[in-house]
Structure 1
Amino acid sequence: MPVGEDRTREDTVLTADISDAVGDTGGSGIQWLAHWDGWFVSLTFARGIAPEELAARLGALPGIRPGPLGATDAWSMAGETVDGDGVARVGRWGGWSFAVEHGMPSGAERLAEVSWGGVEAVHLDPQPDHPPRQFAYARDGELLCCFGLGEECWRGGHQPDLLLPELVAAKILSPDGACARPEDEPCEERDRLTLAVLESRFALALPRHLIEDTPLPAFVTCTR
């Protein structure tokens, strides 16, 4: 998509319709996700592109714009899509565009594509049916670092040790990359510590009401 004046107009249209979904971090962070029983949606963040461009890079089907949807309606629509399709609700918060992905998450498959052209992209997947929760970070077309929350000792990507200093400082890992947390620590607290590292490193924040309640511009996305 072109940048410049046309992009500014697109941003204005999006933000005018979702004023509640545009703002600074507001102190919300992302640590609250660890203790949220309703975390069933994948979250994809992108810094350097507008929300509509994020939707396009996630595989938004052209010409299908169901209008602003809340979570309940988005889940209903996701249930009506064909296998491999999902619904992404998009907005911008704290300097990042974000997509709340209902159904099949495109962000898990397309994160490197989302990050083309110097863009940063973060994907958080709750994996409710196949724990643990997953984190991935890409920049400029490359998947740099990924791991499961609670399994930070097994890291992938082109720079698997990218977050090792922060994970060691938070006493999640030892300097040699081994687990440093007590074996009997509750999973939610362990996940919160890792989310705190991600929150601090990438300045991530997303208020719960945006995920649960706020009608956001929605797109049908295809992972195939």
Structure 2
Amino acid sequence: MEITYADVAWLADDHELGDLWCLTFVWGLDEAEVLRRLGASEESIRPLTYSELMDEGLFPDTVLAGRLGGWTVLIEVYGWQATELDALRALSAGTEVVSVLRHDHASNYFVYARDGETMTSFNPTIPAWRYGSDPDRLVDAMREAGFDPGHTPGDEDEDENVYHPATDGALLLAARLTGVVLTQEVLNGPLLGGAVDSRA
């Protein structure tokens, strides 16, 4: 079954996670291992719900992890530690990582990393500016998710009536690359939490 915008709309349109969050999908590792790779101390890893995280104000230093098929998703509220270079190296060592950052106060971000290396990264509002060791690796997938890989805001020939995706497109791209979508049920369900010092 093809994943469509409708599958990610609740995250793109709704403010369930707020205006600053990061979702990072890691292939083939369990939740505890992913949290450890991000830097969570063993003693801090424990069952934790999204409601408890919010009610107890544990963010951004506490990160949640949940299972989605063969992937583990890291949920950072008011954080983006998984997109830092060292974290990406650790998380993607021997596997692959897809991460989407929504940051309404600065810049959104999408990154695909594999075997400790950032392959492709870009700001979803400026898809023409791509970075990494293989910046054009996802061009076809980007187009299928609604991006124009050559688009730079302010282009002289830009049609103001053409919609250009941002967070919604990044979520759709991530979902199609991984084959999984964070749902409300997963967010509300059993999760693991781990404390990672965001100031380190």
Q: Report the TM-score range of the alignment, normalised by the length of the smaller protein.
A: 0.7 to 0.9
Match for residue 104 of structure 1 among 79, 82, 101: 79
The residue number in structure 2 matching 1:68 is 47
Distance 1:166 1:101 in 2: 25
Could you tell me the TM-score, scaled by structure 1's length? Answer: 0.71
Write the mapping of 1:1-224 to structure 2, written as runs, cut at 5 A.
29-40=7-18, 41-65=21-45, 67-75=46-54, 76-78=56-58, 86-109=61-84, 110-117=87-94, 119-131=95-107, 133-170=108-145, 172-173=147-148, 177-178=150-151, 182-185=159-162, 191-211=167-187, 213-223=188-198, 224=200
CA contact (8 A) 2:31 2:192 kept: no
Distance 1:35 1:182 in 2: 24
Compared CA separation, residues 193 and 123, structure 1 to 2 (3 A): closer
Structure 1: give runs of 5+ residues left out of the alignment: 1-24, 80-84
Distance 1:217 1:171 in 2: 33
CA contact (8 A) 2:126 2:151 kept: no
2:58 counterpart SS class: helix
One-letter identity of the residue aligned with 1:145: T
- The Cα of 1:113 is off from its aligned counterpart by 1.4
Distance 2:75 2:145 in 1: 28
Could you tell me the TM-score, scaled by structure 2's length? Answer: 0.79
- The Cα of 1:198 is off from its aligned counterpart by 2.9
CA RMSD of aligned residues (A): 2.9
Compared CA separation, residues 190 and 91, structure 1 to 2 (3 A): closer
- The Cα of 1:183 is off from its aligned counterpart by 3.1
**Which ranges of 4 or more aligned residues in structure 1 deviate by more than 6 Å?**
25-28
